[in-house]
Amino acid sequence: MELLQTLLVTIVTLGVLVSVHEFGHFWVARRCGVKVLRFSVGFGKPLLSWTGRDGVEYVLAGIPLGGYVKMLDEREADVPEALKAQAFNRATPWRRMAIAFAGPLANFILAVVVYWAIFLNGVNGVAPIVDGLETGSLAERAGLQLGQEIVAVDSESTPTWEALQLQLLNRIGESGLMTVSAKFPDSDVVHDYNIHLQDWMQGLEEPNPVQELGVKLFVPKLLPELDEVVAGGAAERAGLQKGDLILSADAQSMPDWQTWVQVVRDNPGTALALEVQRGEQVLELSLIPERKLEDNGVAIGFAGVSVAIPSWPESMQRTMTYSVFGAVSAAAHKTWQMSAFTLESIGKMISGALSPKNLSGPISIAKVAGSSAQYGFVAWLGLLALLSISLGVLNLLPIPILDGGHIVYALVEGLSGRPVSEQIQNWANQIGLALVGVVMIFAIYNDILRL
């Protein structure tokens, strides 16, 4: 069932992205007087096709990893004399450039619209409060102190964990000065701390910028308080109930959930004397964890309970609300910010500052799409906007066969007055196709390793 959901969410996600991208080409082509023959979402054998009143063949194909808009073009087939003025190759270089740019632009517009809807609904997050500093770390040497809230990095506001992570990731692989701004609770005085970077996190496969900075952010303590108790499980047989707080097991204090889990795992089939707080009462119960074999054949204990997730202190919760027009401005800024981040990441991957193992392919996209859907519609919308930006940026790269390559061809012709020769275009397209193919294979290889 989960696999089916992931598959459906992935198809819908890619379908939306491709449809919007190709519609951009389609809409501008027709406004530029170019005749469109086919609008296809997906590649391969058509699953569904029909011809509209406008004479365009609309196709839904079986492989949802792209799409295309086929236009009338004398380089691909003979064109009747009466229709030659509507051929793509007869359009001016500037119109061809506009048609090529329209696909990525549509993706950026989609991202702005999606972020606008998210911001209009309000954005929730938690403040990045310093709860621990690693001895000798960059943060400790710079002078950051426990209890401070990190409010900005390089003058960019960081009201939430997500914002902090993004600003720190912007500096991956770099050297130089990074300024972290922080303040104490109930104070308006902001202190700036200068951190000297040297090839920071360069080449790391899974960079964790907050950890590399040497900071542990505050999270509510996970107490051994029970949420769900599995029917018929060891915990239910022992008399445990939802809301119970485990105080001790075999006279050993249970300060947190992890300690409780470890004790249960270490005692399969062994009776544990529990001290449990239930409301105002303190009860004494006996639990015999079930035996469960791991893949390596080692038996572990299993109680059949889940933990009650603690709530964040109100003082640490951040809710950003926007007016209708304020959300438009915030959405445009977010789209620009993520576009710049994507482009910088590509550059750093090429230079070696960012490990190419961070490159993801369709398998990772499918997994993340499925996971985001489980977290709710807003989470899925956030992923849709991010993927739309990535698609837009990637297609604008000056690589033959991509939109960016077509823009370069048109720009050269527009400035020089002469088109790029067919021979050079064919040669460049083969190189571009090979490059894109190699990158795709490497991305899928990374996906498989992650599995």
For each of the domains in the chain, give its residue range(s) and CATH number, in order of start.
Answer: 1-121+321-430 (no CATH), 123-220+312-318 (2.30.42.10), 226-307 (2.30.42.10)
Query: pLDDT over 70 for what percent of the chain?
Result: 95
**In Å, what is the CA distance from 61 to each residue of 17, 53, 150, 352, 434?**
15, 20, 49, 38, 24
* Residue 364, token pair as written in the block: 């990772």
pLDDT tens digits along 299-323: 899 999 999 988 888 888 888 889 9
Q: Which residues of 237-251 are buried (b: 16+ CB within 10 A; e: fewer)?
A: ebebeeebbbebbee
pLDDT of residue 7: 80
pLDDT tens digits along 82-110: 899 999 999 999 999 999 999 999 999 99
pLDDT tens digits along 198-233: 988 887 777 889 999 999 999 999 999 999 999 999
The structure tokens 């990158």 sit at 439
pLDDT of residue 375: 72
pLDDT range class, residue 62, cuts 50, 70, 90: confident
* Residue 81, token pair as written in the block: 């004399």
Report d(CA 187, CA 247) in Å as an integer: 37
**pLDDT reading at 31 higher than 70:** yes
pLDDT tens digits along 177-204: 999 999 998 889 999 999 999 988 887 7
Catalytic: which of 2, 22, 81, 275?
A: 22
Asked if residues 403 and 101 have their Cβ atoms less than 8 Å apart, the reply is: yes
**pLDDT reading at 238 higher than 70:** yes
**pLDDT reading at 296 higher than 80:** no
pLDDT of residue 428: 85
Is 344 annotated in the active site?
Answer: no
Q: How crowded is residue 321: how many other Cβ atoms within 10 Å of its Cβ?
A: 11
**pLDDT reading at 246 higher than 90:** yes
Segment (H or E) for 25: helix 2-31
pLDDT tens digits along 332-383: 999 999 999 889 888 888 887 777 777 776 666 666 666 666 677 888 899 8
pLDDT of residue 2: 66
Burial class (CB in 10 A: 0-12, 13-18, 19+), 143: middle
Asked if residues 270 and 287 have their Cβ atoms less than 8 Å apart, the reply is: no
- DSSP E strands in 52-89: the ranges are 57-71
